[in-house]
Amino acid sequence: MNNYKTEILIIGGGIAGCIAAISLADSFKVTVVDKLALPADKVGESLAPAAQRILNKLQLLPDEETQKSLFINNLGMQSYWGNDSVQIVDHLRNPDGFSKSLDRKKFEVYLRDKAIEKGVTCCWGLRFFNSIFEDNLWKVTCKSDDLKNRTTTIFNADFVIDATGRSAHFAKSLQIKRTSLDALISCWITLPNKEENAMSTIVSDENGWWYTAVLPNNQRVLSYQTDADLFEKSIFKNIDSFLELIKKNKRIYSYVEKAIDQLQFHGTVSANSTKLDKVAGKQWLVLGDAAISFDPLSSQGMFNAMACAMQVTELLKHFNFIKEYDIAKVYRFSEVYTSQINSIWKHYVKHKDLFYGAESRWKDAIFWKRRQVGVLKNEFAL
Ligand SMILES: Cc1cc2nc3c(=O)[nH]c(=O)nc-3n(C[C@H](O)[C@H](O)[C@H](O)COP(=O)(O)OP(=O)(O)OC[C@H]3O[C@@H](n4cnc5c(N)ncnc54)[C@H](O)[C@@H]3O)c2cc1C
């Protein structure tokens, strides 16, 4: 059994975990663990223009050659939402420039490498197992994913950051519950892009909405967002059944038909708006999707994860209880962080309601009824 001491242990090396690690590394001894030896394929790739400021501040803007494989400029968004004519939002006048369409997996590999360069101790392929709090230290047990030669590692950490995404494994082990506003899921495929128009596109329909965008290497992502209970589950199980659904929407099918033999089916993921009931406690906090997860309509999940990671660094440096232990500061830190997350959540819900409220063509359809303001939320227990 291996035993290590670290000041901050970050569980989860996704976008939230890596950005937190890189920004904290100048001030603290930081360790990151992630259950995956390599990042997984993920849908969720449109990086908001303001994220450039964070990448710039952390000196993470890649050189031109690396950039080409990581992201391409996204000129804007065309939407068929609220009526059948196209609305265009471009980023031409955005002071932060264009949004970026990422190769998500490569971007996460890039961030992991940068964390190592920064001197962060990175342990890939180690899964959070359990924890106990003793003598003002978290003793966190992780196990390797290699079942044949399973190793156990114990980290003694002054502070734990749970950045394990929507599953929030560490917080869950502390019996903290999650509140969900809906049961949105997303089924997604990728295909070679055959269109010249490289704008992202959103198209609403009676039971949800479609999204498609161009990725680096002239790939295209295409997804459908709906509630988990509105269709037979079998529709989202394989490319043949999903293609039948795609064919019903002529506009969306037009992106697919020229590459019909090259569709790659990735499956279905949760895409609902959720919030953990408690986001910070005695020497721990949750970050990114683990704390609050956004509807993909917002395209803000990654930016939120990055911005909150930066904020956590500022707060931990300000309260400074890791170097000089002070229980009053520990509690004050939790209060401030909790109130910041609550404020982000409040703004997010308000904007989400506004966006969904702008579509009124299917007022009586269940999907849209559930999103009308004033409808009882929290009806979906996770
Ligand atoms: C359909 C869809 C579309 C989206 N589109 C966009 C978009 O266009 N733009 C945008 O900004 N956001 C989008 N998002 C949201 C975005 O993907 C998330 O906000 C982002 O992934 C959050 O990053 P994270 O690091 O908090 O969590 P994650 O990316 O989920 O990372 C969690 C990490 O924790 C690790 N982990 C999990 N459990 C354990 C464990 N027990 N032990 C150790 N490690 C563990 C995982 O391997 C993973 O690496 C979308 C989301 C969905 C579902």
- Centroid of ligand 1 to alpha carbon of 61 (angstroms): 21
Write down the mean pLDDT value for the chain: 94
Residue with the nearest Cα to atom 27 of ligand 1?
165
Q: What's the rounded Cα separation, in Å, for the pair 337 and 159?
A: 14
In this predicted structure, the answer to whether residue 320 has a pLDDT above a threshold of 80 is yes
Mean pLDDT value across residues 119-131: 97
Q: How many Å lie between the centroid of ligand 1 and the Cα of residue 199?
A: 24
**What ranges do the domains of the chain cover?**
2-50+103-177+274-355
Q: How far is the CA of 49 from the CAs of 95, 200, 295, 340, in angstroms?
A: 8, 14, 18, 22
Averaged pLDDT for residues 49-59: 96
For a pLDDT cut of 90, what percent of the chain falls above it? 88
Summarised one tens digit per residue, pLDDT across range 294-312 is 999 999 999 999 999 999 9
Looking at the predicted structure, is the pLDDT value of residue 368 above 70? yes
Cα-to-centroid distance, 341 and ligand 1 (Å): 17
Q: pLDDT digit string (tens) for 208-255?
A: 999 999 999 999 999 999 999 999 999 999 999 999 999 999 999 999
How far, in Å, CA of 103 to CA of 362, rounded? 34
Average of pLDDT values for 367-377? 79
Cα–ligand 1 centroid distance for 219 (angstroms): 21
The pLDDT score that the predictor gives to residue 374 is: 60
Protein residue with its CA nearest to atom 29 in ligand 1: 14
Q: How far is the CA of 295 from the centre of ligand 1 (A)?
A: 12
Atom of ligand 1 nearest to the CA of 293: 19
Residue 381 has pLDDT above 70, yes or no: no
Instruction: Give me the pLDDT at residue 191, please.
Output: 98
Q: At what angle do helices 301-319 and 15-24 cross, to 10 degrees?
A: 30
Q: Which two tokens stand for residue 170?
A: 């560490």
Q: What percent of the chain has pLDDT over 70?
A: 98
Would you give the DSSP letter of residue 40?
A: P
- With the most atoms of ligand 1 within 8 angstroms of its CB, the residue from 10, 34, 47, 161 to mutate is 34
**Predicted confidence (pLDDT) at residue 375 exceeds the cutoff of 70:** no
Q: How far is the CA of 165 from the centre of ligand 1 (A)?
A: 5
Residue 382 has pLDDT above 80, yes or no: no
Mutate to test the pocket of ligand 1, among 22, 32, 43, 105 (most ligand atoms within 8 A of CB): 43
- Ligand 1 residue neighbourhood (C-beta within 6 Å): 11-17, 33-36, 39, 42-47, 127-128, 163-165, 167, 169, 186, 223, 269, 271, 288-290, 296, 299-303, 305
Cβ(163)–Cβ(302) below 8 Å: no
pLDDT at 182: 97
Beta bridge partners of 211: 202, 223
Give 79's contacts (C-beta < 8 A, 6+ positions apart): 86, 87, 88, 89, 201, 202, 203
Ligand 1 midpoint to CA 14 (Å): 6
Distance 250 CA to ligand 1 centre (A): 31
Q: In this predicted structure, which of 5-9, 95-99, 170-174 has the lowest mean pLDDT?
A: 95-99
List, for residues 10-21, the tens digit of each pLDDT value.
Answer: 999 999 999 999
Atom of ligand 1 nearest to the CA of 223: 1
* CA 67 – ligand 1 centroid, Å: 21
Helix (H) or strand (E) holding 191: strand 184-192
Which pLDDT score, from 0 to 100, does residue 121 have?
A: 98
pLDDT attached to residue 378: 46
Q: Above 60 in pLDDT, residue 54?
A: yes
Q: How far apart are alpha carbons 99 and 235 in whole angstroms?
A: 32
As a whole number, mean pLDDT of residues 36-64 equals: 93
Q: With beta carbons less than 8 A apart as the criterion, state whether 203 and 79 touch.
A: yes
What do you get for the CA distance between the two ends of the chain, in Å?
A: 35
Q: How far is the CA of 167 from the centre of ligand 1 (A)?
A: 10
Model-wide pTM > 0.85: yes
Averaged over 315-325, what is the pLDDT?
96
Contact 272, 348 (CB under 8 A): no
pLDDT computed for residue 15 by the predictor: 98
Residue type, 199: M
Q: Which atom of ligand 1 is nearest to the CA of 303?
A: 11
pLDDT value, residue 376:
47
pLDDT of residue 212: 97
Assigned CATH for 2-50+103-177+274-355: 3.50.50.60
Please tell me the residue having the least CA distance from ligand 1 atom 39.
164
Mutate to test the pocket of ligand 1, among 201, 302, 344, 348 (most ligand atoms within 8 A of CB): 302
